[in-house]
Amino acid sequence: MSISPVRKIPTGIPGFDAMAHGGLPEGRTTLVAGSAGAAKTLFASQYLAGGIRDFDESGVFVTFEETPLDLRRNLISLGWDIDAWEQAGKWRFVDASPDPAQDVTLAGAWDFGALMARITRAVEAVDASRVVVDSLGAVFSEFSDSGRVRRELRRLVRALRDLGVTSIMTVERTSEYGDVSRWGVEEFVAEDVVLLRNILEDEAARRTMQILKFRGTTHRKGEFPFAIINDRGIVALPLADSALTDLQSRADRIDSGNDELDAMTGGGPFRDSITLVSGATGTGKTLMVTEFMKGGARNGERCLLFAFEESRAQLIRNAKGWGVDYEQMERDGQLQIVAAYPETASLEEHLVRITDAIRDFEPHRFALDSLSALERASTPRGFRHFVIGITSLLKDRQVTGMYTATTPSLMGGASVTESHISTLTDAIVLLRYVEVLGQVRRAISVLKMRGSAHDHDIREITIDADGMHIGALFTNVDGVLSGAPRQLGPDEVEVVGTQG
């Protein structure tokens, strides 16, 4: 006897199938468990919609909770015309929702014979290969005899298997990290379990999904963030840890847009590297991004800029002030600017938008200004997921990246952002204000340059209508980076001076 390997059915839910190494195990029932509002119904609906849209497979939706009318209305906002699919014989509801006008009195032993007959007929009528049962919790609350309900659901799972369909059953959980389900359903839908979470962390909500188990077949482990996007529904982000493990930087180096900076970094950024530019407000981070974009354009590369601090008009005006014509670059197809407010969407939604833009525009360079603006509207874990997500995507596609981070204090100090993500970046450039002889001046230093020698000096920068200029060493002050610069005495200056 040969044991055939478990085949997978792609759900069509973006990102999930990659997590699931292909999709849901064919011919079986997967339990999708989650607390209230965890998007179980959406997940189940999207599985059917994906089947119809992407694979020409029909589906049956057995609803115990919402009425078909409500579901049609809710799902049309995602651009799914269930009505049309029903008429085309692609989608069929089995309405098992409670009828408010008809109370049922229980008087003795019963089974789900009528329900099963209706499901069987619906599956045959549209030749369905996908079935959704939403939700088991509603069944348990409708019928008090939970022992009988459990026995009948077990039979339903068997009946679905005999029909040869691949199905999803949703079930409620009471806590995000406790038992799989409230009613011990996992005892009989035990082979395949997916958990959806809606976690409230530091007053910010974060959604994740996790494949708890797939019997006899592989899947990615751990929690992955997901977002719910207008017009698209659930978009999972299984980007983490894909490319970060293999950091074989190509020796290929590129033009950062500033020759003096390239000299400091020992030849410019590596093609698939990420540079973090950190500094207080006004030290020149946005300017450095602007030069990075300019460097791309003058080498015939496409550049994508996501700006979360300034409006489009502001960005264009600023760039013009430094001698860079963003509008012309956009007309030439060399630049795409996306300006957004961090608070308008969740971090996961921003990540989906960025991912889409990178896929569509296929840039050689990507800049994000600033990470700190996004960090303010997120949780530490969510933020780390986000940075890992973008970083792995950029590396995967060999896009050169630049992120900016704003330090909270004007003089020195590390930003919160840096401490979270410095290990994810290949190069770190610090921009600092320095107080020297009663004047505030700006300093630059390359703190880290993975895979290359670099200048360890702290140099002065000046900004004019041509952009940024990197000048001489700060020879007469000490403690610039710490934020507590100290004037050196004449003797010390001499010592330092001879070295520089």
Q: For binding to other proteins (CB under 8 A), which residues are involved?
A: 94-96, 99, 102-115, 117-118, 120-121
User: Can you read off the two tokens belonging to residue 132?
Assistant: 């959704």
216 vs 6, 47, 160, 458, CA distance in Å?
7, 22, 20, 58
- Give Cβ neighbours of residue 222 (< 8 Å, ≥ 6 apart): 210, 240
Q: Give the 3-state secondary structure of residue 424.
A: helix
Contact 87, 56 (CB under 8 A): no
In the complex, least distance from residue 120 CB atom to other proteins, rounded to whole angstroms: 7
In the complex, least distance from residue 115 CB atom to other proteins, rounded to whole angstroms: 4
* C-beta of 61 vs 112, nearer to other proteins: 112
User: Can you read off the two tokens belonging to residue 351?
Assistant: 């990540």
* C-beta of 103 vs 466, nearer to other proteins: 103
* C-beta of 95 vs 262, nearer to other proteins: 95
* C-beta of 110 vs 341, nearer to other proteins: 110
Phi, psi of 46 (to 5 degrees): -65, -30
User: Can you read off the two tokens belonging to residue 91?
Assistant: 């989608």
Concatenated DSSP letters of 466-493: TEEEEEEE--SEE-TTTT--EEPPHHHH
* C-beta of 183 vs 366, nearer to other proteins: 183
Q: How open is the CA angle 34-39-44, to the nearest 5 degrees?
A: 95
Q: What is the DSSP letter of 310?
A: S
In the complex, least distance from residue 172 CB atom to other proteins, rounded to whole angstroms: 19
Contact 45, 132 (CB under 8 A): yes
In the complex, least distance from residue 32 CB atom to other proteins, rounded to whole angstroms: 21
In the complex, least distance from residue 144 CB atom to other proteins, rounded to whole angstroms: 12
Burial class (CB in 10 A: 0-12, 13-18, 19+), 474: buried
In the complex, least distance from residue 117 CB atom to other proteins, rounded to whole angstroms: 4
Catalytic residues: 65, 309
* C-beta of 114 vs 495, nearer to other proteins: 114
Distance from C-alpha of 138 to C-alpha of 97, rounded to nearest angstrom? 9
Burial class (CB in 10 A: 0-12, 13-18, 19+), 336: middle
* C-beta of 111 vs 494, nearer to other proteins: 111
Largest interatomic CA distance in the chain: 101
In the complex, least distance from residue 121 CB atom to other proteins, rounded to whole angstroms: 4
Contact 73, 40 (CB under 8 A): no
Burial class (CB in 10 A: 0-12, 13-18, 19+), 232: middle
